[in-house]
Amino acid sequence: MRIRYPIGTTRMKEKDLKYLFIKSVHAGHIDGNDFFSTERSGIGIKIKEEGYFRNFDLVVAIIKKRNDSDIQFDSIDSYDNYVNIIRRTGPLIQFANKEKCRIDWISFFPVELKSDDDALDGRLPNQILNAILTFGRAILVLDKKHSERAKLRGILNLIPATIIGYTGREDYFEVLSVFRRFITTGMIGLNKKRLVKLLRANQIDSISGVYNCFENIQRICQKLVFSQLYDQDPGFAKEELEFFQKLADMKLLPEKKNLTELIRETSNLKITDYLY
């Protein structure tokens, strides 16, 4: 398919840019690309248009097959991929069942496309944030003029997304900037050193056990947050469900009592103490 424009028309529509980008992915015509590459054997690509309830222009799934099933933490990327499986179990296991593949072979890349006919406005940050919260990463594909403006204004590295630009030539694209961080921890994060210091200051025993408990709660909360974005099954493991049961045996913290103590402890403070 060759895209032709009417006389006087110089801008592509989004659907035209989408067609060219999909063609480019399959043809390997993205210069500087090391994430959609299918040059190595055993790598497959699945592309879904208007993926995840029409929240993304495209969702690209890369399936990298390997024979061994050993868990290998041989790099930061491999560690993040395994953590991601734990955090985003729902969508990954759903895709694995559909494609009849192992869950650790899968990588998702949500893609937002902006043709020169589209305005770059306040919706873009929300779209990128939505992609990061859902899949841990975002890819932004810009048409030729948008790419030139982004390079000229020096804003490429200010956007938390990998940015790919159209070259204006057939179905050839180029990587303009790469955002390497893979977000696996969502909105919740624990600072281990601060937590340990806090527990010691309050004379809490079994610090490692308490920290492990917080880690479990954090992981479960993140699973719930990610799954609730699209009302999916979070895919809780048997051990996580058993952890739920242990939590169910605990009593609710006495909020009214805590409020009373806080009010009593601060009752002698004077507002004038804070005036200059």
Q: Give me the residue label for tokens 């990327």.
A: 77
Q: Residue 7's pLDDT is what?
A: 38
Q: Residue 187's pLDDT is what?
A: 52
pTM: 0.71
Amino acid symbol at 240: E
Residues in the chain where the model's pLDDT stays below 70? 1-10, 38, 51-53, 72-76, 79, 185-190, 225-226, 228-231, 269-276
Cα dihedral angle (196, 197, 198, 203), rounded to 10 degrees? 90
Strands 173-177 and 30-31: parallel
- Name the percent of the chain lying above pLDDT 90: 30
Q: Residue 3's pLDDT is what?
A: 47
Contact 112, 138 (CB under 8 A): yes
- Name the percent of the chain lying above pLDDT 70: 84
Please provide the average confidence, as pLDDT, over all residues in the chain: 82
Q: Where are the domains of the chain?
A: 14-177, 185-250
Q: Count CB atoms within 10 A of the CB of residue 134.
A: 21
- Find the farthest-apart pair of alpha carbons in the chain and give their distance in angstroms, rounded: 79
